[in-house]
Structure 1
């Protein structure tokens, strides 16, 4: 069973998937959001293709740990994903993941245009890797 990580944005959804053992996360793609139905159809295709059994959704918290309007939207989106796909959706603190992804891409000297194309799937991979690492630590 693989685990899917999602970085939900207004215009895009970054997607990452774990390896079969649940040890590492790889960025898969960035879905350009069009309509609710097309977004869900693409997620369904990816869930089936990668045999996903669980989803980790980034939860944007404020720096003080509180949940603001954007976080509330993500929580609602997670509940909807659970309902539509029948999979457990775990919310994962995503504070600073996009900053971390941006820094990594800058250090790798990736051009601005290329960074824009991959940053969301890289953020999804960071979210998912954090979740996978926490499961390894707990045993």
Structure 2
């Protein structure tokens, strides 16, 4: 199983902030990481490089925010561009993962655990990234 990725990094793309999560297939673990701030969808690429260097992922996932009917949205096009940039800059395989409702689910999970609903101070983006990662893992039976 040498071609099976072991460490996965997931991004929940956004215009102002990008959620990040890491997972390990061998251990069956995942965890949200601190969000990355972005300006009109552009992160500070040195921060992305630092995360990639720290976690050494075998593959990268980017949430694909499709419309509810499955069509490509404007944000989806931008998320795909982000994924292409990650792949091009860092030479890593990038997969897009359907993330419809991941932010909604992340907020629901946080509220169930006592989150007060102030998502500006305590964003849900990295929890959404973790849900994207978990979706990808479950689709592969991991």
Match of 1:89 in 2: 94
Match of 1:26 in 2: 31
Match of 2:135 in 1: 130
1:63-118 CA distances to partner (integer Å, 9 max, x unpaired)?
Answer: 11110211111111111111001000000000000000111111112122367524
Query: Are 2:87 and 1:65 aligned?
Result: no
Match of 1:45 in 2: 50
1:8-35 CA distances to partner (integer Å, 9 max, x unpaired)?
Answer: 1010010000026262321011111259
Contact kept, 8 Å, 1:16 with 1:27, in 2: the verdict is yes
- Mapping for residues 101-116 of structure 1, pairs under 5 Å: 101-113=106-118, 116=121
**What TM-score, normalized to structure 1?**
0.88
Give the secondary structure class of the aligned counterpart of 1:91.
strand
Query: Are 2:84 and 1:79 aligned?
Result: yes
Q: Please, which runs of 5 or more residues in structure 2 have no aligned partner?
A: 1-5
How many matched pairs? 136
- What is the distance in 2 between the residues matched to 1:95 and 1:31? 21
RMSD (CA atoms) = 1.9
Match of 2:12 in 1: 7
More helix by share: 1
Q: Which moved more, 1:25-34 or 1:56-65?
A: 25-34
